[in-house]
Structure formats: C-alpha cells, structure tokens
Chains A and B, each alone.
Chain A
Amino acid sequence: MDFSYDDEQNALRQAVSGLLARAYDGEKRRAVVAADPGFDEKTWSQLAEMGLLGLPFAEEHGGAGAGHVEVAIVAEEIGRVLAPEPYVQAVVLTGGLIDAVGTDAQRGELVAGLAEGTLVPAFAHAEPGTRWSTSASGVRAAEEGGTWRLTGVKEPVPNGARADVLVVSAVVGDGATRLFVVRGDAEGLTRSGYRSHDGTRVAKVELAGTPAEPLGEGTDDRAAAIERAHSLARIAYAHESIGAMATALSTTTEYLRTRKQFGVTLNKFQALTFRAADMYVSLELARSTALWASLVVDTGGDVVTAADRARLQTSRAGRHIGKDAIQLHGGIGVTAEYTVGHYTSRLTAIDHVLGDGDWALARLAAGVGDHETVDPLGAPYT
C-alpha cells in the first residue's frame, strides 16, 4: 500500500498545472465562459498536445495507456483553477463509454479523434423525469430498412450543442437500453445550447427520426456499461471537486489573513478560524476517499461501490466547503466578480451531474448489511 505520488505523477501534475495557470490567469476564465462553447478551444488543443485527452486509452488509438490515478491528477488540476474544459465529460465519461463499448472501427475513429483534440464527444443520456438512471426511457430507437432512427428529447446534455458527435442512450423494442452514435450534422437533430450556473454549457437535444449508428455490436442492454462509465466519471469528478475545494479553502484563509474589521484581521476571530479548520478536515477526508477510489479503479476492484463512497464523501465536503467559503468572505463572496462564489457554483453542479450525496447514500445503505466491516485494502476493492 502506498498513497504517495511517484516522480512521473508529480511531473504530470506540474505540467498540467503549468498549462492551466497560463491559460487561466486573472480574468481569462470569465471571458471564456461568457462566450460559446463555454471553454477555450485553444486550451483544449493544448491538452490534446500534452496527451491528456487520450490519457486513459490504448496507444493504438492515440492514447497513453495511463491509469485512473493519472486521470485524477488532471481532473484535480482542472478543478483547482475551475478550467471550463469538459475533461471529465468528454474524456472519462463519453470517451470511456466509446472505448468500453465501441467496435474497433468506432474506437479507431472516435477515441483517436478525441485524443487528438479534433473531435469533442458528449453523452446525451439525462432525460426530464429521470434521476441519474442507468437506462433510457424517453428516447426510443427503432430499426427500419437497416437504419436505426432515434426519437425523443435529451436534456440537460453537458456540451450537447458544441459536441461533434453524440453518444445517445435509447430504449429499443424489448425495453433494453442501448447506445448510439449520432453525428452533429445528422438530419432531424435539433440542439439548443444554453449556459448553466457554473459557466459550462448544456443543451436540449431533440431527436426526430434521427439516423444513428449503434455503438458496439450485439443487442446487449448497456445499463451495466453506463453504470461503470458513470462510476469512473464520478471518481474523476470527485478529484475535480477536491481541486475546487482546495482553492476555495486557500482563497478563504488568505482572505481571513488580510481582511480587516474591528481594527484587526479576521483571523483574530476564533469563530472564523475554527470554521476554516473544519473545512480543512472535510477536504482531507474527502481527498483520501477520492484517492482511494482511483486506486480501486487501477486495481480492478468494485468501482461502482468505490465511486458511491467517493461521491458521498465529496458531496458532503463540497457543500460544507462551498457554503462556508462564501460565508467567511461576507458580501464579496456572492459577487460574480470575485472568484470564490464560482467555486461554490461549480461544486454544486458537480454535485448534481451524476448523483448527489443522498442518492449515493441510499445505494450504500441498501448494501450496508452485505458486509461486516469495510476494509479499504481488501475485498471487494482490491
């Protein structure tokens, strides 16, 4: 057992943080998220040049064959500066799904395009009326004359308007959920993008007999593949939120050291420093859990449960730190011009994109009788 990063991993972190620091100095982020597509295409290309967009994929598809711990390092640095590039959505979730389910040809085209930075994929899965489900219900797929066509509405779809290719989940005749590839220029595809509270873009995706190509072969229900991809993304998001929480806390402690009221800096008030101490406790406990969950992925353990555990811990910590970071700043914390509120906004978005803390807790509670104790270094995690 060893929870410390090795030299290569530290070098990776430095490279990513260097790139993002140059991309997002000062006011840059506000300008970037103000305009479509809500992230910086140039930064996206640089992430590709560094090999980060192909990090978890095989070398034959332009990837680096790295582990989840490496992916997590990138996600954490993204979170630290609130970089709006859809790393977890495009690489971990959608790319991961294509890589897991797609045919060789599909991987050759789509994964390779993603790794190169020339193709941004998005996963169109959520539907009004469902909550973090692994199956589709509102969008239906039917085959006619050798062509599959999709009909229905997906919303909210992260980066759904900008995406070059959509992976869409749909129910087929027998009630199974399957996955389809829909090209951005497909007929009968209408995408209406808008800005979300955290500055990222989401879209309503309407499909009206839209032609689609099945992702992968066979007629298997893909709920399990979706569950796994969701889980890997939850773990990567746990790291993105750790990065965001770390900055929210350091911004807050810096403010307490400099802001003066009643003739002294705010760090003279124990009521405030104790709250900062509690934020630190939340952060470190969540960090440990996220780190562990990434190691479970790389070890081949039960990623679904590990992801739920990381989700629960980071959800609780994200809310605690996000809310108190604003409170300890006073009024400036709720202004759009100051950074800290945006961290809270982003943490809130991450908290709801793939299941919140109570949702994860309900799943863990359902299985609480299955084991006597939780052994992080034993079955089913290693």
Chain B
Amino acid sequence: MLSRDVEEVVGMRLQLSPEDEAFRQEMRTFFTTKVPQTTRDAVAARRDVGREQYVETQRILNAAGLAVPHWPAEWGGRDWTPLQRHIWREEMQLACVPEPLAFNTSMIGPVIAAFGSDAQKQRFLPATANLDIWWCQGFSEPDAGSDLASLRTTAVREGDEYVVNGQKTWTTLGQYADWIFCLVRTDPDAPKKQRGISMLVFPMDTPGVTLRPIELIDGGFEVNEVFFEDVRVPAENLIGEENRGWDYAKFLLGNERAGIARVGATKRMLADAKQLASEVLADGRPLAEDPRMSARIAELENELLALELTALRVVAHSADGKPHPASSVLKLRGSELQQAATELFVDIAGPLSLASFADDDSAVPEWARAATPEYLNYRKVTIYGGSNEVQRTIIAGTILGL
C-alpha cells in the first residue's frame, strides 16, 4: 500500500523549482548590480540611509517593476507567487538594498488600492510607488499605543472639509514626509470606539500641522510628535467610508506583518559578526575561537534557520492574501533575533563599544562605534508593529484558543 516510485514523488521537496531558482538569481543579480554600491555599503555598515538614497533606490526598483510587486497588477503589481515575493524580499535584504518605504508600499498603497476611490488611486498610487510622495503613519498617540482604538484626535466635518485637532506621536521619519495618513475620530458617540474612526490623508505642510522631533536613546532622530491645530482637510481626502477606518487599519497592520521576520537582514548581520569576531583579538587569539563565542553564533544561526524555514512554511500557506496566524511567530522571533544580533555586535566590540559617539578621527573601527547605538535603537523592534506582548496575545487567542 505504501510502496511508491521515486519518480512519482511530487509533494514535499527542498529545492527551488528551476523557475524559482532562476528568479532568485535574477533578483540577486539585479540587487547587486543595479543599486548604487555606496547606498548598499551604507546599509552594510549600518549607517543611516538618507532621504535621497531611499528615493533613488526606490525609483530604480520601481522602474524595474520591483518596488510594489504585491500590489494589484494594474498599479504596478506582479503576478508573483508568495514564495517569489519572499525570495524578492530576502534577496533584497541580503544584498543590503534599502527596502521600498514600508509606509508607502506595505501600508497606505495597498489600502488605497483596496478601498480608495478611482480618483484617489489615480492621484496617489503611481506617486506612492515611485516615492514621489513620501508618506508617514499617523496612528499612535500619547494615550493610544497598543490600545490604538482609544485614539482621540478628532476630525469634524464642516462643509467640504474636515477640521482636525489632536496629536500623533512616534511618527517615523515624519521629517522627510510629504503626506501623512491618519486615523481620526469622526464619531465620538459610536457605540463601540472602533466604529467611530476614519482614515484621512493630507500634506504635512497643511497649515496647523506642527512637527517636533523626538531624540531616541541612540542619539538619533527618526521619530516625531505631530500636532494638529484646526487643520483643514478636503473631504475628498477621506479614504473609503467615514467611520470604517478601523477596518482599513486592521487590513494595513496585517500587511505590515508580512516580511517582518527580516531573515535576510539578520543573516547578513550574523555573517558580518562572524567576520568581525575573527578579526578582533582576545589575548592574542581571534575572538571567534573562543568556544563560548562560536557557540553563541552557531546557536543564533540555528535559530535563524528555524525562523527562515517557518517563514517559508507560512508563505506557502498564505496564498489567499490573508496573514497566516503563525505570522505572529515570525514577528516575535524575527524581532528577538534582530535584537540578539545587535547585542552580539556590542559584545564582539567589547571595550571598543564605548567609542560610540566618536567621529571618524577615532582609531576605533566604524562598526564598533555603531554597535551600541544600534543595539539600543533596536529595542524598538519588539515594541512597534504590534508589540511582542500583542503577538503573544494573538497566538494565545487566535491559535491556541485561550
């Protein structure tokens, strides 16, 4: 009954199909030859990538049809399988290519494509794909973090306009942004707080919008507070229907989790860490030869392998476009491993890590100077994108039925 010919076996297999292997090569070649080396070097050295480099890279990708492959075909999407999308993203990270801006390509773009009016699609989608518009995300507020639906920023309809008042915070790269997509409360009396929320979009230079940078523990400025004082937004800038904003936000956050494992990026980091550990000397011998160090790296590598394989399993089961519940596993472990990799750099740097804010005259190599700020900065990855506690809540509730 169980006998079967080897040639008959079609189910499980490890190798990529020849088409997928060719696809992988094509991606690898593109990313390593068409994206400027200086930009990729900056990513590899874990330096901040400036606005111009982001824009330049995304335009190169967009021209080649590689910026928004997951969008509907008529707006620049590609008819790729989930596995091909996975390969595309992993190869991009392995090649140290700055990824297309998530606020544009993973967040507001798909929302407008799914729920926006035809006029909004025409107006925004091409410019969003090409990073002609830089978007920022105005969801979180001082008193609305994990409990996002308790947000208080209001939008009151007056004729053909909404008048927006309130405050957003944690607005990433708001200083570069041309436009913001915002969740606002349009019905304060809705029986459920989720039902009174709408999504509005407007330019950051609209009168009444004020941006105030927040300094993070690494000394960097990547997030901001944004204040709204009688900001007048044309009613045509409402996305979808009034008071349905929470549905769109949930759709958006589901997309945000795709690709959040960041396996390729962490892989790159571990490869670099190994190289550096073989260059750093501890009592005259390469640190990489210390059995505790090599075991630590080997264990991280194995955990990353397990994560990558799990990502491949999830990818294979997410064909209907909905996030697989197990994608919470990817966020949870992916963020923890990113943090573990940054911690590894600090420990490889050891005493050199104290030269964190030294300038280029320093005798300490750049990677060692960057290590601690990056480690401190990366505490964020278990907080945003749905904190890891929120992910555990999803796993316990949705998957385990607790």
Contacts and interface: CB of A to CB of B under 8 A. Distances in A.
A273 B391 CA distance: 12
Contact of B2 (A66, A69, A249, A296): A66
Given A1-B14, A273-B396, A373 B294 contact: no
Interface stretch (B62-70, B149-157, B159-167, B305-313): B305-313
A382 B333 CA distance: 26
Contact of A1 (B5, B83, B291): B83
Nearest to B24: A377
A52 B305 CA distance: 31
B184 interface: no
Contacts, number: 185
Given A257-B402, A369-B278, A285 B303 contact: yes
Contacts of B393: 270, 273-274, 277
B270 interface: yes
Between B2, B14, B268, the greatest number of chain A beta carbons within 10 A of the residue's beta carbon is seen for B14
A116 B387 CA distance: 55
A374 B299 contact: no
B282 to A, nearest CB: 16
Interface string B192-230: 000000000000000000000000000000000000000
A382 B15 contact: yes
B274 interface: yes
Contacts of A284: 310, 326, 329
B212 to A, nearest CB: 35
Contacts of A295: 12-14
A292 B304 CA distance: 13
Given A267-B402, A362-B295, A376 B309 contact: yes
A88 interface: no
Given A289-B309, A368-B294, A280 B400 contact: yes
Interface string B382-402: 000000010111011101111
Contacts of A273: 392-393, 396-397, 400, 402
B332 to A, nearest CB: 6
A37 B109 CA distance: 65
B396 A288 contact: no
A92 B5 CA distance: 20
Contacts of B312: 1, 3, 288, 376
Given A267-B402, A284-B310, A288-B310, A1 B16 contact: yes
Contacts of A1: 13-17, 20, 83, 312
A289 B400 contact: no
Contacts of A5: 11-12
A382 to B, nearest CB: 5
Given A280-B400, A309-B305, A65 B4 contact: yes
Given A273-B400, A369-B288, A9 B306 contact: no
A376 B267 CA distance: 12
Contact of A373 (B83, B267, B302): B267
A330 to B, nearest CB: 16
Nearest to B310: A288
Nearest to B311: A288
Contacts of A159: none
Contacts of B333: 281, 285
A13 to B, nearest CB: 12
Given A66-B2, A284-B310, A299 B294 contact: no
A3 B400 contact: no
B296 to A, nearest CB: 8
Contacts of B2: 12, 50-52, 55, 64, 66, 70
A295 B16 CA distance: 12
7 contacts: A2-B11, A5-B12, A51-B3, A67-B9, A280-B399, A288-B312, A298-B13
Given A64-B3, A366-B294, 16 more contacts: A8-B4, A51-B3, A55-B2, A64-B2, A66-B2, A66-B3, A267-B402, A273-B392, A277-B393, A284-B310, A312-B299, A362-B295, A372-B271, A374-B267, A374-B301, A376-B305
